[in-house]
Amino acid sequence: MADQEDDVRALLNDSGEPDLKHAIARAREVVDRLDNVVLNIAVTGVTGAGKSTFVNAIRDVSNTEVGAAKIGETETTMEIKDYPYPTMPNVKIWDLPGLGTKNFKAKTYIKDVKFQNYDFFIIVSEKRFKEYDIMLAKEIQKNKKNFYFIRSMIDQDVANAERRWVTENATLQKIKNDCQENLMELGSPPVFLILSFYLEKFDFSKLQNALERDLPDRKRDALVRSLPVYSRQCLEKKYNTFQKAVWALAVVSGGITAAPVPGLSVACDVAMVATFFTTCYHSFGLDDKSLTKVGNRVDKPILEMVKESAIVRAIAGKTFLSSKLAARLGGVIESVCSLIPVAGNIAAAGVSFATTRSVLEEGLKELYRVALKVIEMANLN
């Protein structure tokens, strides 16, 4: 019984709340925010700037996949279109029509694209930012929303300059200087140099840092969880975000156990834990599609290596994962409830918290370890 009391004290200590009722209420709020937070990102710019390619890249979707934003040499985005993240449908990228096109005139653009619906704007250009870009940024400033300038297709500039014996660093600095000079009337805001096909190159990590800095906590976590894994730093941010969810999920598990409904706890624990691991699995880029894409790019058998992990195999075979979790979580909890009919439910909450937290932490660490190995093999360190 002393061990069970220790488990309950640990639950309350981790929650920062005075009693079980308040701890469970706070945890449910945290879990609800993690699962249901909405983030809307608008991508805009003049025709042909590479908006749709960027939209696909940050969703980790190739240009030819079903559900990808259409690309082409002429204007292909003729209407406002949302593209949810494949594994986080509440996070959406909105591909907006080019500013100044036939159906979206400059004077009414802000109203026509339903400006108020987006958390922030990304303005894309393949060369110097034009009058329309600056005008749009001014309107965004007036409405007190954030915007970020992206200069796309950087590889072409670097390749052309190298033919003239100009170094990559010199070319990148010249591009930034030119863009910021062009944007001087806006206070020379930072310009992020992006290569959509290789997000690990140039300034994508700086862009991510800027977005995280400016977003509120709950939306920041949604952004981090949704982005493709393009570096070790990106993976570590994802890992830290999921670690925050472990406490809340474990407390909610304890709360369910305290409810005197036989069998409810195990079923709910299994569903929550399986969903959590599956979300981590996709966010870390360990699904077959993501691994095949990375393996083809570096010409290494990454998919086969990852399948050596028992938890990755279990997640890929969904039924097997549920059965393993049920076996791990069920026995201890049910036995405590049967021994002490009333007080046992409170004690079981502590046991459930400790057991579920242990399972979550172990699984998360293993998925992180496998994802680190993928990054090493893909030379994304």
Mean pLDDT of 158-180: 88
pLDDT confidence bin for 259, thresholds 50/70/90: very low
Crossing angle between the packed helical segments 2-15 and 20-36, to the nearest 10 degrees = 50
Q: Are strands 39-45 and 81-85 parallel, antiparallel or unpaired?
A: unpaired
Q: For 233-243, how does the pLDDT look when each residue is reduced to its tens digit (9 = 90+)?
A: 999 999 999 98
- Are the beta carbons of 356 and 250 closer than 8 angstroms? yes
Per the structure block, which two tokens stand in for 244? 């925050």
- Name the pLDDT band for 101 (thresholds 50, 70, 90): low
- Residue for token digits 């036939």? 102
Q: How far apart are CA 236 and CA 242, in angstroms?
A: 10
Give the model confidence (pLDDT) of 304-361 as tens digits.
777 777 778 777 776 555 555 555 544 433 433 333 333 334 334 444 677 777 778 8
Task: Give the integer Cα–Cα distance in Å for 27 and 216.
Answer: 19
**Residue 92: its H or E element:** strand 88-95
Q: Are 333 and 266 in contact (CB under 8 A)?
A: yes
Could you give the CA distance from residue 247 to residue 61 in angstroms, rounded to a whole number?
32
Dump pLDDT digits (tens) for 31-81.
777 778 899 999 987 777 788 889 998 998 888 888 888 876 455 556 788
Write down the CATH superfamily of domain 38-226: P-loop containing nucleotide triphosphate hydrolases (3.40.50.300)
Alpha helices in the chain (DSSP H): 2-15, 20-36, 51-58, 109-112, 131-142, 154-162, 168-182, 204-214, 217-226, 232-258, 264-283, 288-298, 302-306, 310-316, 318-339, 343-377
Pairing of strands 88-95, 81-85: antiparallel
pTM of the model: 0.81
Residue 194 pLDDT level (bands cut at 50, 70, 90): very high
Tokens linked to 195: 């290569």
Element (DSSP H or E) covering residue 91: strand 88-95
Q: CA 167 to CA 179: how far, in whole Å? A: 19
What gap in Å lies between CA 367 and CA 312, rounded to an integer?
A: 7
**Residues spanned by CATH 3.40.50.300 within the chain?**
38-226
pLDDT of residue 381: 67
- In the predicted model, is pLDDT for residue 363 greater than 70? yes
